[in-house]
Structure 1
């Protein structure tokens, strides 16, 4: 009888511990966030792509009078999509995009001076996944 009582107590303790772990576990892990910079040594523009929500962000990282451009393209495609952020230093601007789940794309960060200007001083392409 003492053996049976011990196994019952241990069983209840194990079930309680499992319930506690499940109750404190996050519902779902957040998606990946991918980053690209226009320069490795002294970046002045950053592009970010958040897998969860498919949000593209451009951030101006320097008080230099230049705006930034967030660019994306499908994996190794020649068609580049560019989004201008002229809101100024330390102000991020987001765009909500839509891709099929698992789509591979590339992102990069550039400088751009006006909304109808041409992006320049772009960094390298970085891979991201929707």
Structure 2
């Protein structure tokens, strides 16, 4: 997650917060987006290739979107606050739960 520094003007008071979304891709077939506000993931199937889009979250396993091209499926993992997580986008065969290919790992920080 990029470092963000925001200074309020002298006459302003309040809390500054940043919602962080980090996305991982596998080619043009799958996109997995993590939203640190709420520890939620979205798995998008972006190709009509007869494969399912899959999110792999390190230490937590695989999460499947078997609903076909153009679909999106969401899930939430209750992470501890302020930790770094790793995840990546993959494609696979839902019926056999076989992972075919995965993209690069992405890291993100949970809210905290």
TM-score normalized with structure 1 length:
0.68
| Divergent runs of 4+, >2 A | 27-30
Measure how far apart 1:31 and its partner are: 1.5
Measure how far apart 1:106 and its partner are: 0.6
- Is the radius of gyration larger for structure 1 or structure 2? 1
Q: Over aligned residue pairs, what C-alpha RMSD do you find?
A: 1.9
**Aligned partners of 1:47 and 1:71 also within 8 Å:** no
How many residues are matched?
A: 100
For residues 89 and 70 of structure 1, the distance between their equivalents in structure 2, rounded to whole angstroms, comes to 15
Match of 1:32 among 5, 10, 20: 20
Q: Secondary structure at the match of 2:100?
A: coil
For residues 58 and 64 of structure 1, the distance between their equivalents in structure 2, rounded to whole angstroms, comes to 16
**More helix as a share of residues:** 1
What do the CA deviations read for 1:34-82 (whole angstroms, capped 9, x no partner)? 100013xxx2111111000100111101111111111111xxxxx4510
* Segment drifting more, 115-124 vs 56-65: 115-124
For residues 108 and 80 of structure 2, the distance between their equivalents in structure 1, rounded to whole angstroms, comes to 13
**More strand as a share of residues:** 2
- Which residue is equivalent to 1:97? 77
What do the CA deviations read for 1:18-41 (whole angstroms, capped 9, x no partner)? 5xx77xx9x7544100100013xx
Q: Secondary structure at the match of 1:120?
A: strand
What do the CA deviations read for 1:99-124 (whole angstroms, capped 9, x no partner)? 11111111100001215412121001
TM-score normalized with structure 2 length:
0.79
